Chains A and B, each alone.
Chain A
């Protein structure tokens, strides 16, 4: 295991060292201490390594991640795992705004709550939040799955495309063109898988599914109030 004191070594050295790891690296486990809310920790990794961050981080932790498993033993600032391509990011605490924004793949797990705009513009990522999420979550979400074990705030899934949203608790309000959909067996299977991958013991049957009503897909003046 490699131990890295961020305050002592600095961000540039850390990310540089992480970027040096390639497919067949034998330095597979990294521990980062003293993150102290720094921004852009462990961004742009492209290797099958595990990075354990001991403490809370600032903006964009794990941004654009590929392959790596990043565990944050604390809370994260805005934009955790933004544009993630693959791999897994697990946050023990809470996440600020835009968690998993524009993510293309991989799994983001937030064990606490996530703030507003969780999963905004998501493009294939899976996001599982053990707690609640804030308003405008999954805004313009294109594809992927957002699973919320608690409650969702206002305007969930506004201007949604093809992403699937699953909420166990209440939804304060749905955004434009987002509607409740039928839970079919394949959705139960999908949830089973995502919940087990996220160490969450909620039951798939307890969730409701939301998706796009697809009425805004081609501009129509009669829908102009919804835009």
Chain B
């Protein structure tokens, strides 16, 4: 070292703030530049307690397993046993959640119908009404009755195998929908009875009823219109699951669809997706408790959604007392959404495969969440249907594998006693013991 040079002073390495992370700073810069909140599709991206924080115990000396492949493990389920003349019979307890035509293309809806029908389960319409593609390819179709009532009509209502009154969605409890002008094709505009190219807001509240007493009368009206033939589900966001389940039962629902905060959406404010609602893991037990308190468990079916990805998730939801699950995002991924084969195009849109969530902009390289005829052509509904069928089959096999290991001859027979939790949070939310203990926070009879 040259004697004339000053010794360099030790410096700290550059440190990022946990509070002002790069993500946060980019949000602030985006807001400052545009003056509008961030809108996106998908569900909560933050880390949350999930079904991954639960484990099954499997068999032991006191619990013997069933032989894989040889001893049956049933998966069928009937929804709507309470009042409907024609309850829905499904081969598997995994249904396709309501996703709007408008958000999804016609061929994507067709693929959902093909895949679900081949796997023996139902699909659900969404905001924007019922399309012939979907009715034609779904052996069991649930027709959503939403606040916007876009496309609602008695003929389609009578074509439905079940009706789902949507009170809320996990991604946005208390929020309406939005479909931005660029996705309003002639067909979408016509179905919704609105001018082409304008932003369409879907109301957040039903136009002709408010509160549980009105809901009871609304359910009566829908039953009268459809001759008490089909089941009526009520879909609510996982906000106050005990009370919402109680009120839906009181109002006369045949089934309750409960959607946790990880649940996907076609488009809403990011702040809504990330900060409103409860994680799916936390909403199952209170809902089941409400059903049990009213003597309605298994009589009124509980369908859980929000971040369901695998047969393990299905088995865990059912062990906690759900009758079935619904999938949205996972079904889209099975169809090809966010597939790295489109990486170059995701890059052009300023994103990367796995992170693409600008579904509302209608530029989906996979041709699924778009109304652009050129992009839509990329998606083959038959191939998509086949992939979805495969995926549903795999999930079912996985759930059966777990159930057999727990000695259960029907997925329904899975129970909380089959589970332990990896974290205190999960133990408290699922009300199953922390692994290695016989205790969970809030356990009756324990003092903390």
Contact = CB atoms under 8 A, between A and B. Distances in A.
Interface in B183-215: 192-195, 198-199, 201, 203, 207-209, 214
Nearest to B39: A219
Interface stretch (A119-127, A149-157, A167-175): A119-127
A82 B207 CA distance: 9
A219 B201 CA distance: 10
A78 interface: yes
A127 to B, nearest CB: 14
Interface residues of A, number: 42
A20 to B, nearest CB: 10
Nearest to A60: B221
A15 interface: yes
Interface stretch (B3-11, B152-160, B371-379): B152-160
Interface string A182-226: 000000000000000000000000000000000001110100000
B221 A40 contact: yes
A143 B193 contact: yes
A123 B153 CA distance: 11
Interface in B127-152: 148-149, 152
Nearest to B226: A44
B360 to A, nearest CB: 11
A66 interface: yes
B203 A79 contact: no
B242 interface: no
A60 B208 contact: yes
Among B157, B209, B214, B225, the most chain A Cβ lie within 10 Å of the Cβ of B225
Contacts of B201: 140, 159
Contacts of B57: none
Nearest to A162: B195
A140 B198 contact: no
Interface residues of B, number: 34
Contacts of A159: 201
| B interface majority secondary structure | loop
- Judged by DSSP, the binding face of A is loop
Contact of B149 (A39, A102, A219): A102
A218 B224 contact: no
A218 B214 contact: no
A19 interface: yes
A122 to B, nearest CB: 9
A24 B214 CA distance: 36
B196 to A, nearest CB: 11
B36 interface: yes
B227 interface: yes
A16 B223 CA distance: 11
Contacts of B152: 83, 102
B36 A219 contact: yes
Most buried by A among B36, B149, B181: B149
Contacts of B36: 219, 221
A104 B149 CA distance: 10
Contact of B227 (A16, A58, A60, A139): A16
B228 interface: yes
A40 B224 contact: yes
A22 B181 CA distance: 41
Given A102-B207, A117-B207, A44 B225 contact: yes
Contacts of A6: none
A28 to B, nearest CB: 20
B193 A123 contact: yes
Interface in A7-64: 11-12, 15-16, 19, 39-40, 43-44, 46, 58-60, 63-64
18 contacts: A12-B224, A15-B227, A43-B225, A59-B217, A66-B154, A83-B149, A83-B152, A83-B153, A83-B154, A85-B154, A98-B208, A121-B149, A123-B149, A143-B193, A218-B181, A218-B199, A219-B180, A219-B199
Interface of A: 11-12, 15-16, 19, 39-40, 43-44, 46, 58-60, 63-64, 66, 78-79, 82-83, 85, 97-98, 101-102, 104, 117, 120-121, 123-124, 139-140, 142-143, 159, 161-162, 217-219, 221
Top 7 closest pairs, chain A to chain B, by CB: A44-B225, A221-B35, A217-B198, A79-B208, A98-B208, A101-B208, A64-B154
Given A59-B218, A85-B153, A121-B149, 17 more contacts: A12-B228, A39-B217, A40-B217, A44-B157, A44-B158, A59-B221, A60-B217, A66-B154, A83-B149, A83-B152, A83-B153, A101-B207, A143-B193, A162-B194, A217-B198, A217-B199, A218-B181
